[in-house]
Amino acid sequence: MNRLTKLFAEKRENILNIYFTAGYPKLDDLVEIGLALERSGVDILEIGIPYSDPLADGPTIQASSQQALKNGMNVRLLFTQVEDLRKHTEIPIILMGNFNQVMQYGENQFFRKCKEVGVDGVILPDMPTYVYEEQFKALFEELDLGITFLVAPQTELERLRKIDELTRGFVYVVSSAAITGGVGGVTDAQEAYFERITSYGWHHPTLIGFGIKDAQSFAKACKYANGAIIGSAFIRALADSQDLSETISDFVSEILPQDSP
């Protein structure tokens, strides 16, 4: 059982997944940020692999990726840092990236390396489901590695079924037709969509992401899904941080319900 599966076996609500870009704000901040997030009560660490040409990322995450690349981050270094982080924690770690980076590393080597350094799952939003199914599904099963696909407001029922079937870990519910870090907040129309999508009857937990930024939007998302993902708002907090530990502790305590451990 990998750490993600274990988490979901123990916890089904208010799951907080925080995204941050590897190599940002400074090249070697990954371990410190990861541990501070864990101490603050975050459930999942989602580490972004910085990419030169991301398509679904808004300006905040794009800028953090550019800075990270300028700092010298690359896939090999990222694996080293994650391996280091893993020595100090058992929190579930997932990697989010673009398929091209995985291709250049060598797909099979990349996924095996994930397992080796203690990564529990991956999100590759531009990897087609048919590519996963035909080429990598067996390997993921062998490695017991999680794979998360996105669902969006226009995703059809038949497609939800396919995604549920292929998912290992959780389903990523994109909150609206937008790139990351959009307007923010949750509208009534979005709530109707959350209602529809989360009542589908998933075999896997669902986490809502894109535009989740504060206690209010987190609470709304958690009404419908098992939890939520916060990215851009956290990156913005890091950008202004003088003291990472303090910033992170403040940021997370603002988000989580008071009675949460």
Q: Which is nearer to other proteins, 228 or 255 (CB)?
A: 228
The yes or no reply on residue 207 touching other proteins (CB under 8 A) is: no
Please enumerate in sequence order all residues whose Cβ is within 8 A of that of 132, keeping only pairs 6 or more positions apart, or say none: 140, 147, 166
**By CB under 8 A, is residue 53 in contact with other proteins?**
yes
Would you count residue 51 as binding other proteins (CB under 8 A)?
A: yes
First to last CA, the chain: 24
**Does the active-site annotation cover 46?**
yes
Pick the closer one to other proteins by CB: 13 or 133: 133
Buried b (16+ CB within 10 A) or exposed e, 186-217: beeebeebbeebbebebebbbbbbbbbbeeeb
Instruction: Give min distance, CB of 20 to other proteins, in A.
Output: 19
- Angle at the Cα of 206 from the Cα atoms of 96 and 32, rounded to 5 degrees: 40
127 binds other proteins (CB under 8 A): yes
- Alpha-carbon distance 173 to 141, whole Å? 23
State which residue, 193 or 251, has the beta carbon closest to other proteins. Answer: 193
Minimum CB distance to other proteins smaller for 166 or for 219: 166
Q: Residue 83: what residue type?
A: E
Q: Which of 31, 39, 74, 236 binds other proteins (CB under 8 A)?
A: 74
| Spatial distance between the Cα atoms of 167 and 129, rounded to a whole number of angstroms | 10
Which residues of the chain form contacts with other proteins (CB under 8 A)? 51-56, 58, 62, 66, 69, 74-76, 98-105, 125-128, 130-131, 149-152, 154-156, 159, 174, 177-179, 182
Catalytic residues: 46, 57
